[in-house]
Amino acid sequence: MVSYKELGLVNTKEMFARAINGGYAIPAFNFNNLEQLQAIIKASSDLRSPVILQVSKGARNYANSTLLRYMAQGAVEYAKELGCKHPEIVLHLDHGDSFELCKDCVDMGFSSVMIDGSSLPYDENVALTAKVVEYAHKYDVTVEGELGVLAGVEDEVASEVSHYTKPEEVIDFTSKTGCDSLAISIGTSHGAYKFKPEQCTVDPKTGRLVPPPLAFDVLDAIMEKLPGFPIVLHGSSSVPQEYVDMINQYGGKLPNAIGIPEDQLRKAAKSAVCKINIDSDSRLAFTAAVRKTLVEKPAEFDPRKFCGPARDLMTEMYRHKIIDVLGSDNKLAQLD
Ligand code: G3H
Ligand code: 13P
Ligand code: ZN
């Protein structure tokens, strides 16, 4: 058993309370490899932003769970080396799907876990989330639960609406489970294809597709039921068209990739939404830079020569998210 406190990590409690009061959101960035982690820590340390490092079950399988945990521990030291004396870094399990997986993460030094029972019948979601909370809270580890199912692009518009979080359930769920934050469904979804073109309108100036707005009425109703309670948005990549264009220009094939417009996320960040999850945008930046470099320098075979530009582009992207979308720059409790 290793406590996250020994690793220099923090849980989400204080940073969420400050984010709600301050009208901004904490970035939750997924990482699977060294370059993503370097870019996240460089951007968040330079900008004095709290940050949540997210590890999915897939990331644990890809990179090895022990290695990822030591990388997060190393990230705390790296942030200090970059001049950030008091970093606030959370190591969070993304989309935990069982009690055993959550327990394993708590036991190995994670400071926060998500138990995603959103696909279960309501009562089973409550029971599973409560069980994880009971265990995690013994070690001061915070827990994110989820209610409502994130829409997939394969769904019909009608069924997407019916999957939104039901505001009438949120008080019962949070009080019965004791979870520290709640992921909700208001129209975001995972991946780079969040909407079908026929769900969008066309911007006459740019010719780009504009997706329908998020269901802010549902968010408002949830906030009314749970005043001051931390809300989480998954599926919040904006799928920057410049990366999609770069990927397509250099041999890729991502037709009609569409994300959540950044002004919608900015609006959400000013509310009780205090954690915004971004993964796909990092994948797009990485892929765009690697494709460009390999096409422009076909003789290159040193991975540092194409992973380096990928890291630079991801750092630029994370900086932009922190400053212009989430507003979490200069929000550490101790800025020196
Ligand atoms: O929510 C999903 C995250 O983007 C993680 O994706 O399961 O492919 O690692 P992954
Ligand atoms: P995106 O696929 O929109 O980046 O969402 C990531 C996410 O929600 C991770 O849990
Ligand atoms: Zn997610």
Tens digit of pLDDT for each residue in 236-274? Answer: 999 999 999 999 999 999 999 999 999 999 999 999 999
Q: How far is the CA of 47 from the centre of ligand 2 (A)?
A: 22
pLDDT band at 152 (very low <50, low <70, confident <90, very high): low
- Are the C-beta atoms of residues 182 and 229 closer than 8 Å to each other? yes
Residue 160 has pLDDT above 70, yes or no: no
In percent, the amount of the chain with pLDDT more than 70 equals 96
Atom of ligand 2 nearest to the CA of 114: 10
Q: Give the dihedral sign, CA 249/250/253/254.
A: negative
What integer pLDDT is reported at residue 318 of this predicted model? 99
Whole-number Å distance, alpha carbon 297 to ligand 3 midpoint, is 35
How does the average pLDDT of the chain come out, rounded? Answer: 95
DSSP conformational letter for 313? H
CA of 94 to the centre of ligand 2 (A): 9
Give the Cα separation of 18 and 170 in Å (integer): 22
pLDDT at 158 exceeding the cut of 80: no
Burial label for 244, CB within 10 Å (0-12, 13-18, 19+), is buried
For the stretch 32-42, pLDDT in tens is: 999 999 999 99
Ligand 1 atom having least distance to the Cα of 279: 4
Cβ pair 330, 336 in contact under 8 A: no
What is the pLDDT averaged over residues 47-52?
Answer: 98
**In this model, does residue 70 exceed pLDDT 60?**
yes
What pLDDT, on the 0 to 100 scale, is given for residue 161? Answer: 46
Per-residue pLDDT, 43: 98
Q: Which two tokens stand for residue 87?
A: 């970093």
Residue to mutate (ligand 2; options 280, 286, 326; most atoms within 8 A of CB): 280
Structural contact between residues 47 and 322, judged by C-beta atoms closer than 8 angstroms = yes
Tens digits of residue pLDDT in 166-224: 999 999 999 999 999 999 999 999 999 999 999 999 989 988 889 999 999 999 999 99
Instruction: Give residue 247's identity as a one-letter amino acid code.
Output: I
- The answer to whether the beta carbons of residues 151 and 186 sit under 8 Å apart is no
Determine the average pLDDT of the residues in 140-144.
99
The predicted model gives 62-88 an average pLDDT of 97
Closest CA to 51 of 324, 286, 319: 319
210 strand-pairing partners: 201
Which residue, 239, 271, 232, is CA-closest to 116? Answer: 232
Which one of 150, 185, 279 would you pick to mutate in the ligand 1 pocket, going by the greatest count of ligand atoms within 8 A of its CB? Answer: 279
pLDDT at 157 over 80: no
Higher pLDDT: 152 or 228? It is 228
Looking at the predicted structure, is the pLDDT value of residue 286 above 80?
yes
**Proportion of the chain above pLDDT 90, given as a percent:** 93
pLDDT of residue 154: 45
The active-site residue out of 46, 94, 155, 263 is 94
